[in-house]
Structures are given as structure tokens and as C-alpha cells.
Structure 1
């Protein structure tokens, strides 16, 4: 019984070059290049600009890695072709961000400013002082960089102040009742 996700083929878009050498997978596209080692027990083959994944045996670990390997390969292809972005909104009076070299300097209501430098392969953009865009080719690295920025000042439930994802909805709580 193979994975339902693992059975799905991965289409290779135009302008993307894919090489599979045994368990080594490498991809090159407009935004950069990346590689991945396919777990043992799974074979990948290319036919007509499509990648197919086949489990060699039916062990539980192979079945678990079958869908995971397919998902990772698909995200690496999407990353070098289109890239990934996460947008964060800064909400609160006096809360803002500004570029400082490659990094960003945040004023978040603390007694000091906080400077965040981008990890390798990640870039930051500031469309305005209250919005940060994290871009890169690695889905996991983009998500982790955005989560690290959000952790600087998580949104609070009473006024919604803090750093939140642009598509995140903050559940608001009612404050103290008046007299």
C-alpha cells in the first residue's frame, strides 16, 4: 500500500532542469538551484517532463517517506521556479520596522530596538514601515524566518498589537467590564 500523495506525479515546468542520479535529486531554475537526497526504498524516474515515485518495498517506513519525498521534491521545484513568500503585518501604535543593511530593525515597544539579519538564501523587503515580506526558494527556511520574526512580539488578544501573518485572524477577547 503506497502513499496516496506519493502516487501523484510531479510536473516539471518549462525552464526548470531536473537531474536524478540514483537517490540524488537536483533541480535548477530561474531563482536558483537546490538538491535533495531521496530516502532509501524509493525510486524516482522522469518520463515526459513528469517525475514519478515508486516505493521499492512495502515497509512502514518506506510508505511514510513515499509521500514526504514527493512533497519535498515538488516544493523544491516550485521554489526554484517561482519562490516562496510570507507577509507579516506589524500592528500597534509606534510599532514599525526599517531596513538596516540586509537586515531589519524593529521598534516593538521594548526599551531597545531589535535587529534581525536574514539567514542564507532569504531576503527581506519592506513595502512600508508596518509590513515585512520574507522571500526565498526554500519553503521551510522562509516559514522559519517568518516565525522567528513573529516571535519577537506575538499578537495579543485584547487589542491585536504585535506581529502577525497577513492572512492570520486574531481571536479577540473582551476586556474588563466597565462600571
Structure 2
């Protein structure tokens, strides 16, 4: 059995969890999340504790045990507290602006980069170079941050690019003169 899958999930007071054999729905202060469950995952609720179990024991099923326990836990944390990510634009002339439902990035290209913001994510730009992202869906938040970052990944020579907060770029030495 998975060690992570065995851990119980505590449900906060303001979170409502509904489940059947095919899907689980979590409602909270910041939104509603739903995910499909495989047939081999069994969920039991005792008071304010949720336990994820297995209906059969095979190697593939044991691999899903910890995964779905973590996914359900992330759903509960997301709807009660929200997840947040901070991106830092590092480079001369790099800046970001939110216009309507899209974020416009100036990243040194000949044109501004426009990226549509999903409804579930809130974006806030601080001092033109820091972008704060918040969402109750951790998977969607990471995917959106990765999409923004893919336009200018950090490079090792000057350290320019779009970095996650507190990310350290290992710098390389440039060409050495002879």
C-alpha cells in the first residue's frame, strides 16, 4: 500500500465534499472542483476525516492510490485556502500588464505577447515585473504559469527571463578572452 495514500485527509469546516463511485466534488469558499475517480479507488468519510482506499491490490492500482489521495487533498486545500504562484520578470524592458481578460507581456520581442487568462485564475501585476497568480485549481495554476514562463525561460549567461519567486539560476561563465 502507498504510504502517502494511507494518510487521512482532514476536511475543514467550510468545505463540502460529495462523492460517488465515479467522481468527487469539493465545494468551498473559493470555488468548486470536480475530478473523475477510477473504479479501483474507494473513498470513506468518518466525521471530518476522508480516507482513500483500494478495492484491489495490484502494482498499477497501488500507484494510483497515492496519486488520487494527493489530488483530493489538493482540491480540498485549493477551495479552502487557494494556491498562489509568483513569477518575476527579470531583464531590461521586461514588464507585464493585465488588460481585460488577458495578460500582455513585453519580453524583448518585436511584438507584445498576449496570453488569455482562464476564468479560474486571478492575476495581479505588482511593479510591472512581478506577476501574482491565484487559483483554487493547483494543476491549472501550474500549467498557466508554465505557459507564461515558456515565452522567456531563464538563461544561464545573463540570468534574464521569467523566473519563479526565489528561484536560483546557476550562472555560467561567458566566453573568456585569450
The answer, yes or no, to whether TM exceeds 0.5 is yes
Cα RMSD, aligned residues only: 1.2
User: In the alignment, which residue of structure 1 is the partner of 2:43?
Assistant: 44
Structure 1: gaps (5+ residues) = none
After superposition, give the CA deviation of every residue in 1:58-96 in whole Å (9 maximum; x if it has no partner).
122211111111011000001111111111000111111
Cα separation, 1, equivalents of 2:154 and 2:9: 38
Cα separation, 2, equivalents of 1:102 and 1:118: 6
Cα separation, 2, equivalents of 1:38 and 1:112: 43
After superposition, give the CA deviation of every residue in 1:27-74 in whole Å (9 maximum; x if it has no partner).
110001111222111210110200011211112221111111101100
Structure 2: gaps (5+ residues) = none
The list of structure 1 runs, each at least 4 consecutive aligned residues, that deviate by more than 6 angstroms after superposition, is none
TM-score (norm 1): 0.94
TM-score (norm 2): 0.95
Pairwise CA distance, 1:102: 2.2
Do residues 14 (structure 1) and 13 (structure 2) align? yes
- The answer (yes or no) to whether the contact 2:88–2:131 under 8 Å persists in 1 is yes
> Any idea what SS the aligned residue of 2:123 has?
strand
User: In the alignment, which residue of structure 1 is the partner of 2:85?
Assistant: 86
After superposition, residues 126-145 of structure 1 pair within 5 angstroms as: 126-145=125-144
